[in-house]
């Protein structure tokens, strides 16, 4: 035992010496290449003195990086994550300047901007050298991963030897997109799990599942982690009783939604027992949290460790520099790709300027690196349940299309992250079952505005007889909307500000969630009925239902409770949708149930608007500026996936697809219980219905 310990110590000393030597050589090369960086005095020095100066400088820089850097990152936890990523270069350069100033062997100098470059290169080279030396050393590999763990975690007893569960959410990746990527070899790790190659046995099963009408992360993740999607009609909606717009990715809204779900279910969440939540909108009741939106507004304390994930990752200067370099590369990549799309006049296309290149780089680089590092730390700490969200694909697919080349490259990088998690499981103190899933898919298609020249808000205003922007007023859709209002009012003349203008304060609130639109009248305290809407705005519902870019409407009716409206005067009560789907026929199985469930929510909008859907191509028309969208019904957006180990029971009985995020929550709970003993018998359909 003592011999093994001494061998480990000797191995560590050897690796440290090698990294120091390579860093010294790197500093010497950079001093020869960069005119503003020198290691000798103005009068010149001997080669030996220059080498000693470089060795002292490299050693001082390494020690400062190991000791001072973690303290700097801890002090900067209050800095926004995006800013912290940009500060990496400046801070690293400052440490190098300090190391040169402390050097006793000579008078090295460097210009500030040159110091940034030298520090970045040296950190990258040291990181690559250390990683290369540790490739064949399992102990070194595990030690390196352990440094990524949350260092503020309280001491805990040794973990159990029963399997833990790691759930990795690939945000926005639809079932068909995943299978196509595996077939084309873009995701070899997933392909190996599914044994698409000859002579291999599968280790995982792939199961599609169906979302609710609100096919977006807020509803799906709330249901998966907290077991309830009740009263989440969209990504954003207006609540009349509170006079507030709820937005799922707003910290205050996320905290309120989590509170409501916990109150409704009476349960803390999926991760309440020794769990970790990483990069999610909601905590799932986890005690360990990093980058969790629903706790972002709390005062920092032992209970709020959302930002600690940044410290765990950026406290390693090599990681910080590597991520910062990748961040810059991703910004440049986005600028090049968007410029190429404009030059080639690719269609459909949306604007990708402003801050979007930086937002994309944060989602595809910083968030991915921090979350994956946190998951590795959780596994090596032996936690029982981990749920992590990787948002990279969803962000890129919104602007580049769900099957575009840009999105495909992101899938490749996500597959490499899964491979790293799989590798970490080999070094964990307990076995882990890795489940990969998505919260929704994405449906392609041009935007409503690009096809018709006006937004949904413009169309609603025109249908209400309200003034619309001049650009929208000149479009065919705008003219038809105004004509519908004139016909409904029995007025042959043009409606203007003096003819028909609703009273001040009655203008509608129009919100968009992908290809789902919500229209609310804030001056009416209750959900308006179809009869009330017709009395106030005689041409509005007809204008919307007959527009070619709209698939169907949902309104409340005094006579039929709920009513689906379609073109040419189609009116179908919710009770008759199964026998007579009408405009819902092309939206796939489960559409009627999804619409009926949303109708029961207290905060459903006065008018729910779902865009046109082309079943042949799976295309929809987003009411937002996105060419890959989700949030409503139609196409791949409603069909995410579950990729689970064969050692776990099947997600649903008789091969039936799970329906709704609440069902997925129950499946994950069952899998957690299976880790503690014999597999739980698969519930019957009657039991599933009672649980729902």
Query: Would you list the domain boundaries of the chain?
Result: 2-136, 164-445+637-691, 448-626
Can you tell me the distance from the alpha carbon of 89 to that of 74, in angstroms, rounded to the nearest whole number?
A: 16
Spell out the residues 6+ positions from residue 340 whose beta carbon is closer than 8 angstroms to its own: none
- Token pair belonging to 485: 């209002």
pLDDT at 66: 61
Q: Give the integer Cα–Cα distance in Å for 384 and 386.
A: 7
pTM of the model: 0.79
Other Cβ atoms less than 10 A from the Cβ of 21: the count is 13
Largest CA distance in the chain: 98
Helix-helix angle 81-102:317-343, to 10 degrees: 130
pLDDT of residue 562: 94
Provide the residue count of the chain.
Answer: 692
Please choose, from the candidates 596, 639, 556, the residue with its C-alpha nearest in 3D space to the C-alpha of residue 173: 639
* pLDDT, position 476: 58
Q: What is the pLDDT of residues 384-394, one digit of tens each?
A: 999 999 999 99
pLDDT of 11 reads 60
Residue 294 belongs to what H/E stretch?
Answer: none
Nearest to 67, CA basis, from 322, 315, 370: 315
Measured CA to CA in angstroms, residue 617 lies from 590, 614, 634 at distances of 19, 6, 10
- Amino acid 134: pLDDT: 44
Residue 236 DSSP SS3: strand
* 3 state DSSP class of 641: strand
pLDDT at 380: 83
C-alpha dihedral sign at 331, 334, 338, 344: positive
For residue 247, what are the contacts with CB-CB under 8 A and spacing of at least 6?
235, 236, 253
Owner of token pair 């950190």: 123
Pick out the chain residues at pLDDT < 50.
1, 4, 77-82, 131-142, 144-146, 148-156, 299-304, 306, 488-504, 677-692
**Coil, strand or helix: which one is 379?**
helix
Q: Residue 542: its pLDDT value, please?
A: 94
The residue assigned the tokens 């460790």 is: 305
Interatomic CA distance for residues 192 and 267, integer angstroms: 37
The secondary structure of residue 80, as a DSSP letter, is -
SS3 content of the chain, % helix, strand, coil (to 5): 50, 15, 35
Cα–Cα distance list, 474 to 63, 168, 449, 479 (Å): 67, 48, 13, 7
In this prediction, residue 588 carries a pLDDT of 86
- The CATH class that applies to domain 164-445+637-691 reads alpha beta
Which residue(s) pair with 516 in the sheet?
Answer: 513, 610
Residues 6+ apart with CB under 8 A from 155: none
Q: Which residues pair with 619 in a beta bridge?
A: 614
| Cα dihedral 72→73→76→80 (10° resolution) | 150
Tell me the pairing of strands 164-170 and 385-390: parallel
């Amino acid at each position: 035992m003592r011999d093994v310990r001494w061998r480990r110590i000797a191995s560590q000393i050897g690796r440290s010496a090698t990294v120091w030597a390579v860093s010294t050589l790197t500093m010497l090369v950079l001093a020869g290449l960069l005119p503003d960086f020198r290691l000798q005095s103005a009068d010149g020095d001997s080669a030996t003195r220059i080498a000693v100066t470089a060795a002292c400088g490299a050693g001082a820089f390494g020690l400062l990086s190991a000791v001072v850097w973690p303290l700097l990152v801890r002090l900067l936890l209050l800095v926004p994550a995006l800013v912290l990523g940009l500060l990496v270069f400046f801070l690293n350069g400052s440490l190098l300047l300090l190391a040169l100033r402390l050097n006793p062997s000579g008078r090295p100098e460097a210009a500030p901007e040159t110091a940034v470059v030298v520090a970045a290169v040296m950190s990258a080279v040291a990181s690559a050298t250390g990683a290369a030396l540790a490739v064949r050393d399992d102990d070194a590999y595990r030690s390196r991963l352990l440094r990524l763990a949350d260092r503020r975690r309280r001491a805990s007893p040794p973990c159990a030897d029963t399997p833990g569960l790691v759930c990795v959410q690939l945000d926005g990746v639809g079932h068909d997109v995943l299978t196509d990527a595996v077939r084309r070899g873009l995701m070899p790790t997933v392909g190996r799990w599914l044994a698409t190659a000859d002579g291999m046995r599968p280790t995982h099963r792939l199961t599609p599942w169906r979302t609710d009408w609100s096919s977006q992360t807020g509803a799906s993740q709330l249901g998966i982690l907290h077991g309830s999607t009740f009263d989440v009609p969209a990504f954003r909606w207006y609540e009349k009783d509170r006079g507030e717009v709820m937005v799922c990715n707003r910290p205050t809204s996320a905290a309120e939604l989590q509170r409501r779900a916990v109150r409704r279910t009476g349960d803390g969440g999926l991760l309440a027992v020794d769990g970790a939540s990483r990069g999610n909108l909601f905590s799932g009741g986890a005690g360990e949290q990093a980058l969790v939106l629903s706790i972002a507004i709390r005062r920092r304390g032992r209970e709020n460790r959302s930002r600690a994930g940044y410290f765990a990752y950026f406290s390693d200067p090599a990681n910080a520099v590597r991520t910062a370099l990748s961040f810059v590369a991703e910004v440049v990549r986005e600028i090049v790709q968007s410029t190429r799309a404009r030059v080639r006049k690719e269609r459909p296309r949306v604007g990708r300027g402003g801050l979007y290149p930086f937002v994309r780089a944060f989602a595809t680089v910083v968030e991915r690196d921090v979350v994956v590092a946190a998951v590795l730390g959780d596994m090596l700490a032996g936690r029982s349940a981990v749920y992590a969200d990787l948002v990279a694909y969803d962000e890129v697919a919104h602007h580049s299309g769900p099957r575009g080349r840009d999105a495909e490259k992101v899938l490749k990088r996500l597959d490499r992250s899964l491979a790293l998690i799989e590798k970490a499981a080999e070094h964990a103190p307990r076995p882990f079952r890795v489940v990969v899933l998505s919260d929704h898919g994405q449906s392609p298609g041009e935007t409503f505005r690009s096809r018709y020249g006006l937004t949904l808000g413009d169309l609603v205003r025109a249908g209400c007889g309200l003034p619309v922007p001049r650009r929208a007023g000149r479009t065919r859709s705008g003219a038809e909307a105004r004509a519908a209002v004139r016909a409904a009012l029995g007025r042959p003349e043009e409606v203007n500000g003096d003819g028909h203008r609703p009273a001040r304060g009655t203008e509608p609130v129009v919100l968009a969630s992908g290809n789902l639109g919500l229209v609310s009248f804030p001056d009416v305290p209750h959900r308006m009925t179809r009869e009330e809407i017709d009395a106030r705005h005689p041409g509005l519902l007809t204008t919307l239902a007959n527009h070619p870019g709209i698939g169907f409407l949902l309104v409340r009716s005094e006579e039929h409770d709920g009513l689906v409206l379609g073109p040419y005067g189609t009116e179908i009560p919710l009770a008759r949708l199964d026998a007579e789907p009408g405009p819902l026929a092309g939206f796939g199985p489960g559409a009627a149930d999804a619409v009926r469930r949303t109708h029961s929510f207290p905060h459903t909008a006065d008018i729910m608007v779902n865009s046109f859907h082309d079943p042949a191509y799976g295309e929809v028309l987003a009411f937002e500026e996105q060419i890959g969208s989700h949030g409503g019904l139609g196409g791949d957006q409603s069909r995410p996936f579950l990729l689970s180990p064969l050692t776990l029971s099947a997600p649903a009985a008789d091969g039936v697809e799970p329906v709704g995020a609440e069902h997925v929550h129950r499946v994950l709970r069952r899998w957690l219980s299976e880790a503690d003993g014999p597999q739980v018998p698969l519930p019957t359909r009657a039991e599933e219905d009672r649980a729902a």
